[in-house]
Amino acid sequence: MSTEKLSADQGLLYYLIKQVRPDLAEKISKSKTIETMIVGLGRQGTRHAQLMMEYGTNVTCGIAPGRGGTRVHETIPIYETAAEAVENHPNIAVASIWKHYSTAKDSTIEVIKAGIPIVVLISEFIPLRDVRDILVEARKHKTILFGGNTPGIIFPPESIKVGMLPDIFQAQQVDEIIGPKGVTILSRSGAILYHLSDALASEGISQNGVLGVGGDGAIGSRFIDLVTLVMNFEHTDLVVIAGEIGGMQEEILAQDMISHPEKYPKPLVAMISGANAPEGKTMGHAGAVIAPGQTYGTYNSKKEILEKAGVIVVNHQRDLIDVVKSKLNKLYFEIEDYYKKMKEKWNAKPPEPTWGTLVTNVMPNNLLIRGYPLQEVIANKGLLETAHLLVTGEFPNLEKIKDLEKIAKEAAKEEFSESLEISPNTDVSKIIGTCLLLDSSISEFMNRTTEESAIIAFSLGRALRYLATIFNNLDVLNQVSIDNISFADMIYLGLVGEEKQEKQKTRLLEAIITACVDHGVTPPSAQATLILASTRVSFEVALSAGIQAITDVHGGAGQKAAEFFLSVVDKANESSIDLEEATFRIMRDIIKTGKRIEGLGHRIHTRDPRRDVLWNLAEKAGYAKECVTVSKLVSDVFFRVRGMNLPINVDGVIGAIIADMNINPKLAKAVFVFGRIAGLGAHYYEEVTTQSPMRRLAFDKAVYKGPAIREIK
Residues 440 and 497 in one domain: yes
Residues 307 and 209 in one domain: yes
- For the chain, give percent helix, strand, coil, nearest 5: 50, 15, 35
Residues 431 and 408 in one domain: yes
Stretch (H or E) spanning 703 = strand 702-704
Per the annotation, the verdict on 285 as an active-site residue is yes
Domain end among 351, 377, 408? 351
Report pLDDT for 426. 77
- Domain contains 357: no
516 contacts: CB under 8 Å, gap ≥ 6:
555, 650, 654, 671, 672, 674, 675, 676
Residues 66 and 180 in one domain: no
Residues 341 and 416 in one domain: no
Phi, psi of 543, deg, nearest 5: -65, -40
Question: Whose CA is closest to 455, among 144, 238, 684, 279?
Answer: 684
Candidates 48, 141, 235, 285; catalytic one? 285
- Domain contains 475: yes
Distance CA 435, CA 33 (A): 49
> C-alpha dihedral over 648, 651, 656, 661, to 10 degrees?
160
- Domain contains 93: yes
Q: Residue 432 belongs to a domain with what CATH number?
A: 1.10.580.10
Listing DSSP states for 269-322 in one string gives EEEEE-TTPPTT---SSTT--PPTT-SSSSHHHHHHHHHHTT-EEESSHHHHHH
Question: Whose CA is closest to 677, among 413, 476, 466?
Answer: 466
Domain boundaries, position 598: 557-660
Residues 267 and 196 in one domain: yes
- Domain contains 381: yes
Domain end among 148, 169, 197? 148
Residues 252 and 312 in one domain: yes
Distance CA 305, CA 251 (A): 6
Q: Residue 651 belongs to a domain with what CATH number?
A: 1.10.230.10
Based on the structure, what is the number of domains in the chain?
A: 4
Report pLDDT for 506. 92
Domain end among 114, 148, 182? 148
The CA-based angle 130-131-135, given to 5 degrees, is: 120
Neighbours of 363 (CB within 10 A): 13
Q: What is the pTM of this model?
A: 0.84
Residues 280 and 380 in one domain: no
- Domain contains 13: no
Contact by Cβ (8 Å): 378, 610: yes
3-state secondary structure 164-224: CCCCCCCCEEECCEEECCEEEEEECCHHHHHHHHHHHHCCCCCEEEEEECCCCCCCCCCHH
- Identity of the residue numbered 17: I
Residues 223 and 347 in one domain: yes
Residues 579 and 647 in one domain: yes
Report pLDDT for 277. 59
Angle between helices 626-642 and 579-592 (to 10 degrees): 50
Residues 582 and 498 in one domain: no
Report pLDDT for 422. 66
175 contacts: CB under 8 Å, gap ≥ 6:
none
Q: Residue 217 belongs to a domain with what CATH number?
A: 3.40.50.261
Report pLDDT for 279. 56
- Domain contains 713: no
Contact by Cβ (8 Å): 457, 440: no
Q: Spell out, as residue ranges, where the chain has pLDDT lower than 70.
A: 1-3, 275-296, 417-424
Report pLDDT for 293. 47
Report pLDDT for 345. 82
- Domain contains 157: yes
Phi, psi of 239, deg, nearest 5: -115, 135
Residues 239 and 310 in one domain: yes
- Domain contains 57: yes
Contact by Cβ (8 Å): 226, 213: yes
Sheet containing 71-72, strands listed edge to edge, beginning at the edge strand earlier in sequence: 71-72, 76-79, 58-63, 35-39, 92-97, 118-121, 144-147
Report pLDDT for 557. 85
